[in-house]
């Protein structure tokens, strides 16, 4: 039986709640700066989150709300420029320190390192966003705690395609049977499962009602000793739990032997 050798973390929604008060705000700042009267409300952004990737999300919005603009020959360049401005705003927002890691993340990273489990990232978001978040929350060395950071346009197809997880596994030099993905969304679960990985889900306000079939366990967070997480689906044991390395190893072993 393969033992657990690596944890492969999603970023947005899993390491930190970045979407509503981070990415969404930065998109709106970029629109305002470009003198566009577009504004993505919390609710509208939830709908647009179905499409992963910021440039892809802008394109989706245009196809729904301003389809005539997509015929403009300069539209791809316009989207690229808007997205570059959004990244600038988002990084500045992170540097201000307003977005913390989700409860239990720091503890789990420390415990995994102590247990000799390798750490990696597989995310749809732009690489600069990942390093800015890790620096702002874990300090200057934050990004170096992850052996592999697979992010953004490094693969042609974003989640739910499995490509970004396959990219991370190849960089780690591990088969999928040796890794566990940590995700927050149905698109992420599909991507991880498509790459052959087991996956544990921690939900958030935007993803709570999604379909997580195929996940090993679904929880409302990683939990902390003083405030354990709630188990929402599988494993058989229910109730509350602090997700630590022995817990993950237990779920992982039950899956590979099952
Ligand atoms: C995260 C995303 C990202 C961010 C925006 O998906 O969809 O696109 O919302 O990032 P996941 P960029 O957590 O499943 O990886 O604007 O940098 O593309
Ligand atoms: Mg996510």
Q: What is the pLDDT of residues 89-120, one digit of tens each?
A: 999 999 999 999 999 999 999 999 999 999 99
Q: What is the mean pLDDT of the chain?
A: 95
Active site residues: 10, 12
pLDDT > 70? residue 258:
no
Which tokens is 137 given?
């929350």
Cα 65 from chain centre: 26
The pLDDT value given to residue 187: 97
The pLDDT value given to residue 235: 77
Query: Model pTM?
Result: 0.95
149, with CB counted inside 10 A (0-12, 13-18, 19+), is buried
Q: Using most ligand atoms within 8 A of CB, pick from 18, 20, 57, 155 the residue to mutate for ligand 1.
A: 57
Rounded average pLDDT over 180-185: 98
Q: What is the pLDDT of residues 239-253, one digit of tens each?
A: 899 999 999 999 999
Residues 6+ apart with CB under 8 A from 209: none
Rounded average pLDDT over 185-196: 98
**Length in residues, the chain:** 258
Residue nearest to atom 7 of ligand 1 (CA): 52
pLDDT > 60? residue 20:
yes
Which is more confident, 22 or 256? Answer: 22
pLDDT > 70? residue 25:
yes
Tell me what percent of the residues of the chain surpass a pLDDT of 90.
93
The pLDDT value given to residue 234: 82
Ligand 1 atom, smallest distance to 185 CA: 14
150 lines ligand 1 (CB under 6 A): no
Domains (range + CATH), the chain: 6-17+100-257 (3.40.50.1000), 19-95 (1.10.150.240)
The pLDDT value given to residue 255: 83
For residue 52, the CA-to-ligand 2 centroid distance in Å is 9
């Amino acid at each position: 039986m393969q033992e657990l050798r690596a944890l492969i973390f999603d970023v947005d929604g899993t390491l930190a709640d970045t979407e509503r008060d981070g990415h969404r705000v930065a998109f709106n700042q970029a629109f305002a700066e470009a003198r566009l009267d577009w504004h993505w409300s919390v609710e509208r952004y939830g709908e647009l989150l179905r499409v992963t990737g910021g440039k892809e999300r802008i394109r989706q919005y245009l196809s729904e709300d301003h389809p005539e603009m997509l015929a403009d020959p300069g539209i791809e360049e316009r989207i690229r420029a808007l997205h570059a401005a959004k990244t600038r705003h988002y990084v500045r927002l992170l540097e201000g320190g307003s977005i913390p890691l989700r409860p239990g993340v720091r503890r789990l990273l420390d415990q995994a390192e102590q247990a000799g489990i390798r750490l990696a990232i597989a995310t749809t978001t732009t690489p600069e966003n990942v390093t800015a978040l890790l620096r702002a929350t874990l300090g200057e060395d934050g990004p170096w705690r992850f052996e592999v950071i697979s992010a953004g346009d490094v693969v042609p197809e974003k989640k739910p395609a499995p490509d970004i997880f396959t990219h991370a596994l190849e960089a780690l030099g591990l088969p999928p049977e040796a890794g566990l993905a940590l995700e927050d969304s149905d698109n992420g679960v599909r991507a991880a499962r498509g790459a052959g990985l087991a996956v544990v889900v921690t939900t958030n306000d935007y993803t709570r009602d999604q379909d997580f079939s195929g996940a090993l366990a679904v929880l409302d967070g990683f939990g902390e000793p003083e405030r354990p997480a709630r188990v929402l689906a599988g494993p058989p044991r229910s109730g509350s739990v602090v997700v630590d390395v022995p817990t993950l190893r237990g779920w992982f072993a039950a899956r590979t032997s099952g």
